[in-house]
């Protein structure tokens, strides 16, 4: 299969690395220096989205935000101009529901396939092929992408033929994730003021109440103050919660906790924590409690 992979950030690099040597692979990144190491792995390094898409059967995009996704697809020399009829664009980036819908409509009008397939997981999971994938789109393009999903992840949830639904669920999940991190920060600060060490609070809560690998991972990062390098940057969580609120308004589905959470994330970003891991959100609770 001829595959093009666009976007070689903290998630895209390990994902593309899992394809290198297994297929005819082309890679593109706006900062070309991140793509150059893939030449040694047998991939073709290309210099534009159009060059990547030319001749590709499947094009995977994994970029940071809607603006980057739209630039790759709609910009001059973008995917829509170069992707062959019947070829598939798989949007694995976390983007807004409206952007995903626009992509679906544009690709359908061009006779191209479109699959929305955002992922849950951090860079180490991407490197190990242990991501969870949420996919939606027409049956045939989704089926064609199944071998890719198996290479990237430990499981795929199929949501039907309405592609934007996958990005809606991804945004809901990331909003829940940020809510959990905020709640952990509050619980740890409360416990610490009561004389309970944060590691003890984490052990009790994740044994007696929650028993979640998510709580273990983020709770441990909070306890250790391990905020760099960011596995999931706080500024990206702010972007995702903001996108979720925008979609929720369109759906008339209120997210009252999400509205408060956006302000908490905005406050943390204003304090210079935007490039730190989402776990740094807990610092606001410690500061408010006079612990920092």
SS3 sequence of 111-137:
CCEEEECCEECCHHHHHHCCEEEEEEC
Terminal-to-terminal C-alpha distance of the chain: 54
Q: Which helix (H) or strand (E) holds 24?
A: strand 24-28
What's the DSSP call for residue 159? Answer: -
* Numbered ranges of CATH 1.10.1040.10 in the chain: 168-288
Q: Give the sheet arrangement for strand 153-158, strand by strand.
A: 119-120, 131-135, 153-158
Average pLDDT over residues 104-122: 97
19 pLDDT band (50/70/90 cuts)?
Answer: very high
Catalytic residues: 170
The two structure tokens encoding residue 66: 């809607």
Peptide bond before residue 14 is cis, with ω within 30 degrees of 0: no
Looking at residue 111, its pLDDT comes to 97
Q: What pTM value is reported for the model?
A: 0.95
Q: How many residues are given for the chain?
A: 292
32 pLDDT band (50/70/90 cuts)?
Answer: confident
Looking at residue 31, its pLDDT comes to 86
Burial (CB count within 10 angstroms: exposed 0-12, middle 13-18, buried 19+), residue 70: middle
Q: Which CATH superfamily is domain 2-162 in?
A: NAD(P)-binding Rossmann-like Domain (3.40.50.720)
What is the chain's alpha carbon radius of gyration, rounded to the nearest angstrom? 20
164 pLDDT band (50/70/90 cuts)?
Answer: very high
What are the tens digits of pLDDT across the range 42-78?
999 999 999 999 999 999 999 999 999 999 999 898 9
What are the tens digits of pLDDT across the range 227-264?
999 999 999 999 999 999 999 999 999 999 999 999 99
Please answer whether residues 88 and 108 qualify as being in contact, where contact means their C-beta atoms are separated by less than 8 angstroms: no
Of 124, 145, 147, 123, nearest in space to 136 by CA: 145
Q: Which residues pair with 88 in a beta bridge?
A: 58, 113
* Numbered ranges of CATH 3.40.50.720 in the chain: 2-162
94 pLDDT band (50/70/90 cuts)?
Answer: very high
Q: Percentage of the chain with pLDDT > 90?
A: 96
Looking at residue 292, its pLDDT comes to 86
What are the tens digits of pLDDT across the range 167-217?
999 999 999 999 999 999 999 999 999 999 999 999 999 999 999 999 999
Tokens 């309405």 belong to which residue?
162
Return the half-sphere exposure (C-beta side, CA atoms, 13 A cut-off) of residue 138. Answer: 14
Measured in whole angstroms, the distance separating CA 211 from the mean position of its chain's CA atoms is: 23
Tokens 């789109």 belong to which residue?
137
Is the domain spanning 168-288 CATH 3.90.1560.10? The answer is: no
């Amino acid at each position: 299969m001829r595959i093009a992979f666009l976007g070689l950030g903290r998630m895209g690099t390990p994902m593309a690395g899992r394809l290198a040597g297994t297929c005819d692979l082309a890679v593109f990144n706006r900062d070309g220096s991140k793509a150059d190491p893939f030449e040694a792995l047998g991939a073709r390094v290309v210099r534009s989205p159009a060059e990547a898409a030319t001749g590709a059967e499947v094009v995977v995009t994994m970029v940071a935000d809607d603006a980057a996704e739209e630039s790759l697809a709609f910009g001059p020399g973008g995917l829509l101009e170069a992707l062959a009829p019947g070829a598939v664009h798989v949007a694995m980036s976390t983007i807004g529901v409206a952007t995903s819908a626009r992509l679906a409509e544009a690709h359908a009008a061009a006779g191209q396939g479109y699959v929305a397939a955002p992922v849950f997981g951090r860079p180490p999971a991407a490197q190990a092929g242990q991501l969870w994938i949420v996919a939606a789109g027409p049956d045939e393009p989704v089926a064609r992408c199944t071998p890719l999903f198996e290479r990237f992840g430990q499981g795929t949830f199929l949501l039907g033929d309405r592609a934007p639904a996958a990005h809606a669920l991804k945004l809901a999940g990331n909003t829940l994730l940020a809510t959990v991190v905020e709640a952990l920060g509050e619980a740890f600060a409360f416990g610490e003021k009561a004389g309970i060490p944060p590691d003890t609070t984490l052990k009790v809560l994740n044994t007696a109440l929650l028993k979640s690998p998510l709580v273990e991972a983020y709770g441990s990062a909070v306890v250790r103050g391990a905020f760099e390098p960011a596995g999931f940057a706080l500024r990206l969580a702010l972007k995702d919660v903001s996108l979720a609120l925008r979609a929720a308004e369109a759906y008339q589905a209120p997210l009252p906790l999400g509205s408060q959470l956006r302000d908490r994330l905005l406050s943390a970003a204003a304090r210079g924590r935007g490039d730190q891991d989402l776990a740094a959100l807990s610092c606001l609770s410690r500061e408010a409690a006079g612990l920092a």
